[in-house]
Amino acid sequence: MKGTLFKSSVLPLKTGKLDRLPMTEVPAPREAIVFMRQHSGEVCKPVVEAGDRVLLGQVVGTAQDQQGADVHSPVSGEVTLVAPLEDPYGGFTLAAMIVSDGKDEAAEAMEPMADFNNMPPTRMFERLRRAGVTTYDLEPTPLSAAICPVDTASDLPTGIAESTTELPALDTVIVNTVDEEPLTVINQRLFIDNRDRAAEGIALMKRLTGAPRVIFAVRKSHEKIAVKALGPDSGAEIKVVPVSYPGTLPIVMINALTSRTIPPGGTARDAGVLHISFEIMLDALEAITKGSANIYEMLTVSGGAVNPPKNLKVRIGTPLRAVLRFVGCREAGIEKLVLGGPMRGKAQFSLDMPVVKGVNTILALTESEVAEVKETSCINCGDCVDICPANLQPNLLSRSCEFFKYDNPQFQKELRACIECGLCGYVCPSHRPMMQYFLNAKHHLGM
Amino acid sequence: MIKPSGLTVSAAPHVHCGSSVQERMTLQILALVPATLVGIYFFGLHAAIVVLLSMAAAMVSEMALQKALKREVSVADGSAALTGLIFALLLPASAPWWAVVLGSAFCMIMGKWVFGGLGSYPFNPALVGYLMVKISWPILLTEWPAPAPFGITNALPIETGAEILKRYGVTMAEQFSMINALLGNQAGGIGAVCGIALIAGGVFLISRKVFSWHIPVAFIAGVLLVGGIFRIMNPAEYASPFFHLLSGTTLLGVFFIAPEYTTSPCTIWGKLLYGFGCGVMVMIIRVYGTYPDGVVFAILLMNLLTPIFDRIRPKVVGIMKEAQADG
C-alpha cells in the first residue's frame, strides 16, 4: 500500500461469517417493476405496451444512446402499466410493471460469442449494452461506456484504449472481489463460488479493453485461492487489499493500487483505469459467452430487522417487500430501509420499491439502529478532519453549507473533492447531517 | 404501484459510531474527578462548596440564557458543567461565594453565549471568567490556603511555586518539593495541585480518544524545551523545566484547558504548533512577564491563533497544486 494518499483503513468491515453463507435464489416475484433508466444515458424507449405478453429475459426498453443499456423483463407474464413511477433515487422514471404468470417462459437468448478472442470488441460492446450490463463509475454506467467513453456530441464511442485529448489511455483494469461497503460480502462470495471462471473473465476483460495490466484485488484470506484459481498464465496481478472502509471504495483502492488520483468529480476512466466488481465481470461473461440478459442482482440482506443476514440472488425488478418476506423479516420492525450499504446507500420510502441494477445491499434497520441527526452546531472536535480520506476539513465545509454560503471558489473546489464516503457523519459527536449538507450544496452547484 | 410505507428517509450514512457531545463532556468531567477529590482532601469542605457552586452557577446561567434567547435548553450535554468545573479548579479554595457565582456566570455569558454558544466561542470560556475575576479582584487569586489533610489547619495563606520563583528567585524555588507537587501537597487552585491525578486524567482522556495526544505532548515539549534551554544557560537564575511543569496550573492547562475542542485547531500540524506555542508562551511569560503563572494568558493567546493554525493542513486529495493556488 505504498504511495497512497488516502487513509485506507478506518472501519473494519464487520461481516462475521456472512461470507461463508451460500447464495439463495429468491423466487420470481408475482409483480415486477422495471425502470427504463438504470444507467447514465437517456431513458430507454419502451418496446412494450400495457396488455402485451412478455417472456423472461425479453427486452422491454431499448437504449437510446451509447450511455444507455437495454432493460429486460425478469419474469414471463403480462405488462400491466407503462408509466413514470417514483424511482429509488428520489425522482420519477418511466417504468414497466409486469405481472408474472408463474411459468418463467424464457425468451430466446442472444447468439453466444464463445470465441470472444476473435471477436471485434465493438461488437461485444454492442452485445453488453443489449444485455444490459452496467457497472458503477460515479453513476450507473453501461460497461461499454465505462471502458470506452462516449463522445456526448456525436454519441459515438471515442475508440478503445486510445488516448484522446481529455482522456489518458485505459491501461489498467482492476477486478475487485472485495465489497465496497461494510455489511456486504457479495463479491467475496461470488468469487469463491465462481473461481473457476475468473481466468476466463480476465481474458475477456483484456480483450474488451486491450489494457496491458489487470489487477485482481482479493482479501488476504482469499489470496491462495486466487493464485490457484487464476493459474500461472492468466496475466493478472493478484493484489491483497484491506477489507476496511473506506479502503474498499473504488476511488481509494485505485489510488492505493496504481498511485493514480482521480480528479475531483471525475471517474476512474479519467485516471486510465477501469474498476469493476467481480459480479460485473461475471455478468459480462454471461452476456458474451451465453448471450443471456442481465436480469439478476446479487444482494446481501442485512440490518437489525433481518435475522440472520442472507446472501441472495434476486431478479432485478423484485419489490423489496418480496425480498424481505423471503428472508422472514417482520415489516413492522423496519424503521429505515436502505438500498445500498450503511455508509452510502439510499433510504427508501416504500417497501414496494424494486431492486435495481448496481445495488449490492438491502439494509433493513430497526428504530434503535437508525442514526439520529440533529441540527446542532459543530463543536470543532476535529474527528471528521482526522477521518476524512480526502484530507478535507468537513467541519468548516459543513458550516459553509449550513448557512448556504456556496460562493467561495475554494469551498467549491474542496466540495467537489469530497468523495461522499459518509465517514464525517458517521463519527460526528454532534450528530450533524454532514452528507446532507454536502449533497445539498453539490446539488445547488450542479456538481 | 409504489406507495409510502411510513419509513424514515434521510441522507447517508445510516449508522453512527455512537459518540455524542454529552459522552465527551461526561468523560472530561470524570477525568477531572481525581484532581478535584485531591483538592477537596487538601483544602477541605470549602473547596467542595466552590466546585459545586461554580458548576451549579454555570448550568443555571446557561439555562437562563437559552431560555432568554429562545434556544433549545441543552444543559444536559454537560458542557456548562465542565466549564464551571474547570473554572472552579483554577480558583483557590478560599474564594468567596459571590466571586465564584459571578465568575462562573461570566464564563457562560461573556465567554460562551455572546458568541453563540457551544462551538462558536474564540476563547476558552472558563479562562474568560477566570480573567475577569483576576482583573477585578486581583487579591483573591494571590492568597492560596495552605494544604493540609481535610483542610484543617491554622496556617496562613501561602504562595504557589510559580509565585515563589517570581518573587524570591530560584534559590527559594529549589526548596519546592516535586514529590509534594505530584501528590497535591502544594498551594494552588483547587484542581491544579495534584500532578499525578491530572496526568492520570489526561492519559485517560487520550486513551478514550476524547482528545488526541498532539496538543498535550506538544505543550509539555514546549515547556521542557524552552525551560531546559534557560536552565542550561544559567542554572543559578532559572528553575528546572520540571518545576515549571508541576507548579502553578500548567498540567491542568496541558490536559484539560488547551485541548478544549472549540478553541483549539483540528489539523495535526495545527495541533502540534498550537500546543508547542502554548508551552513556549508559558515559559516566556514566567521568565520575562509580570505574571508568575502565565498558563491562562498563554492559552488565551494561542486560542487567538487557532484559525491560522487550522490552515496548516495536508493537501486535499485530487486537487492539483495550481488549482489550489488560484483558489
B221-236: pLDDT as tens digits: 999 999 999 999 998 8
d(CA A327, CA A18) in angstroms, rounded, equals 14
CA distances from B77 to A381, A398, B32, B70 (A): 15, 21, 17, 17
**Residue A169 pLDDT greater than 90, yes or no:** no
**B17: nearest CB among A255, A347, A427:** A427
d(CA A279, CA A176) in angstroms, rounded, equals 9
pLDDT in tens, B112-144: 999 999 999 999 999 999 999 999 998 888 888
pLDDT band at residue B152 using 50, 70 and 90 as cut-offs: confident
Q: How far is A358 from chain B (nearest CA, A)?
A: 17
- State the count of interchain CB pairs (< 8 A) between A and B: 173
Residue A108 within any structural domain of the chain? no
Share of chain B above pLDDT 70, in %: 98
Residue A241 domain boundaries: 9-19+120-290
Instruction: For residues A144 and A198, state if they share a domain.
Output: yes
pLDDT on residue A157: 63
B87: exposed, middle or buried (C-beta count within 10 Å: 0-12, 13-18, 19+)? buried
As for the ipTM of the complex, it is: 0.90
pLDDT in tens, B296-319: 999 999 999 999 999 998 888 877
Instruction: For residues A89 and A192, state if they share a domain.
Output: no
Residue A388 within any structural domain of the chain? yes
Whole-model pTM: value is: 0.90
Q: Say yes or no: B1 contacts chain A, CB-CB below 8 A.
A: yes
pLDDT on residue A6: 53
Q: Say yes or no: B81 contacts chain A, CB-CB below 8 A.
A: no
Considering only CA atoms, which of B35, B15, B24, B100 is closest in space to residue B254? B35
pLDDT band at residue A7 using 50, 70 and 90 as cut-offs: low
Mean pLDDT within B68-93:
94
| Chain B residues lying within 8 Å of A348, measured CB to CB | 7, 9
Q: Say yes or no: B120 contacts chain A, CB-CB below 8 A.
A: yes
**Residue B209 pLDDT greater than 60, yes or no:** yes
**B21: nearest CB among A379, A389, A409:** A379
- Cβ distance A384 to A433 under 8 Å? no
Cβ-based neighbour number of residue B187 at 10 Å: 24
pLDDT on residue A15: 63
Residue of B nearest to A99 (CA): B1
**Residue A11 pLDDT greater than 70, yes or no:** no
| Chain A residues lying within 8 Å of B315, measured CB to CB | 391
B179: exposed, middle or buried (C-beta count within 10 Å: 0-12, 13-18, 19+)? exposed
Mean pLDDT score of chain A, rounded to an integer?
88
Instruction: For residues A42 and A165, state if they share a domain.
Output: no
pLDDT on residue B137: 93
d(CA A116, CA A128) in angstroms, rounded, equals 13
Instruction: For residues A264 and A337, state if they share a domain.
Output: no
Mean pLDDT within A274-286:
94
pLDDT on residue A5: 46
Q: Say yes or no: B8 contacts chain A, CB-CB below 8 A.
A: yes
Question: Which contacts (CB < 8 Å, 24+ apart) does range A90-93 have?
Answer: A90/A346, A93/A35, A93/A36, A93/A37, A93/A43
Which amino acid does the sequence have at B239?
A
Residue A2 within any structural domain of the chain? no
**Residue A154 pLDDT greater than 70, yes or no:** no
| Chain B residues lying within 8 Å of A391, measured CB to CB | 313-317
Instruction: For residues A220 and A140, state if they share a domain.
Output: yes
* Preceding amide of A308 cis, omega within 30: yes
The verdict on a CB contact (< 8 Å) between B313 and A376 is: no
Mean pLDDT within B232-254:
92
Which of B308, B317, B319 to mutate: most A Cβ within 10 Å? Answer: B317
Residue of A nearest to B266 (CA): A382
What DSSP string runs through B180-222? HHHHT-SSS-TTTS-HHHHHHHHHHHHHTTSS-SHHHHHHHHH
Question: Domain tally for chain A?
Answer: 4
Provide the CATH number for the domain around residue A77.
2.40.50.100
pLDDT in tens, A102-139: 889 998 888 898 888 888 888 899 899 999 999 987 78
Which of B1, B2, B77, B205 to mutate: most A Cβ within 10 Å? Answer: B2
Residue A413 within any structural domain of the chain? yes
Instruction: For residues A242 and A348, state if they share a domain.
Output: no
The verdict on a CB contact (< 8 Å) between A423 and B13 is: yes
**Residue A2 pLDDT greater than 60, yes or no:** no
Q: Say yes or no: B21 contacts chain A, CB-CB below 8 A.
A: yes
pLDDT in tens, A309-367: 889 999 999 999 999 999 998 888 899 999 998 899 999 999 999 999 989 999 999 88
pLDDT on residue A161: 44
Domain ranges of chain B: 21-140, 155-309
Beta bridge partners of A214: A173, A236
